[in-house]
Structure 1
């Protein structure tokens, strides 16, 4: 992967960035995404934020090599601390992290005034999608688009959200993804067939335990019922 040829996962994340956006890419690594979008004239300005010095230096090098130092700023910062008011950011991408970590980054950014509520959020959690959807719902972000895709035998979900009037989701919508639940494509079915097998295995182990964690057992039974209903 390089700035010219993104992975399918990152290319799909980039497809949800609005035309002429001012982008903050958090956890930017080599800054592949903002560089690729800038070279395609998809964005007009970008901040590439990285909390680890090694990847930060890699991002700086990539931006310099691409001749984009006047339009992409690379900052060593924790999460949304990379964003400054004068950046006028209107799109934020956070990809390749756990949902719990992305949720924590968004919560800190909200509390520290790094988000003004006008940004489109394009999020790609590797795991923990439900907890991320819960945060979005609790903070009045509507999920406007979702994607599920497979690459290199791994399944990825992309969640796109914008601040709107309060939106209520059912527990099943938070679990599966409201837009994914509407579409139910082939990758969706494959993921949940695997999850069904995995959760049945976990339930079997829990029920053999000397001290059954009753709350966890009930939670998994409920999730299994939802999955079977969706797969039916």
Structure 2
């Protein structure tokens, strides 16, 4: 992977970046994504933010090698600390856990007032992001589920607006499975939730033999609920 040829996962993220927007890519690693979208003329200017020294240096090197130092500002800092209010229109955060992405948004939410679009790609726990978006006035406008190298990823796209509008059918299922992904219910979606359901069942089996504490009882209830939701969704589709 390089800035010329992105991974399929990052390619999918770039699809949702509107032409002409100013971009901040948070946790940019080698800055492949910002370099790619600037070279393709999708955006004229971008920030590559990285909190870890090694990837920060890699990103700086990459931007220098590509001759893009006037168009990409590589900055070291935690989450949205690397941008100023009103500096960008679109933020991408890819390749982290959903809970971490949600905490980055929460910590930096004062920076989001003028941001028009968020494109978020969690490796796990997309529900954490959907909950955060809904609690903070962001509406999901699109979702995509993809598979690359045996791993399944979800891409969530949100804009400021009526946060409830994506969840008209069923809030609980919408938050867990993704309202758009649920509607489409493609083969990758089914594969993901069959595997998740199997995993939850094996955790539940272990908990059956664990001590009967209030905490374990709660965990069991939650697992039983999630398994039943997944089975309902998958059965509806099979049927």
Same fold (TM over 0.5): yes
Cα offsets for 1:99-137 (capped at 9, x unmatched)? 111111101111xx3211432000001111111110000
Instruction: Normalising by structure 2, report the TM-score.
Output: 0.93
Counterpart in 2 of 1:183?
184
Q: Does 1:220 align with 2:216?
A: no
Q: Secondary structure at the match of 2:141?
A: strand
- Structure 2 counterparts to residues 1-232 of structure 1, below 5 A: 1-85=1-85, 87=87, 89-110=88-109, 113-167=110-164, 169=167, 170-211=171-212, 213-232=216-235
**CA contact 2:102–2:132 (8 Å) conserved in 1:** yes
RMSD: 1.2
**CA contact 2:86–2:115 (8 Å) conserved in 1:** no
Which is further off, 72-81 or 199-208?
199-208
Give 1:166 deviation, angstroms.
Answer: 3.8
| Count of matched residue pairs | 229
**CA contact 1:117–1:163 (8 Å) conserved in 2:** no
Which is further off, 22-31 or 203-212?
203-212
Unaligned runs of 5+ in 1: none
Give 1:167 deviation, angstroms.
Answer: 1.4
Give 1:214 deviation, angstroms.
Answer: 1.2
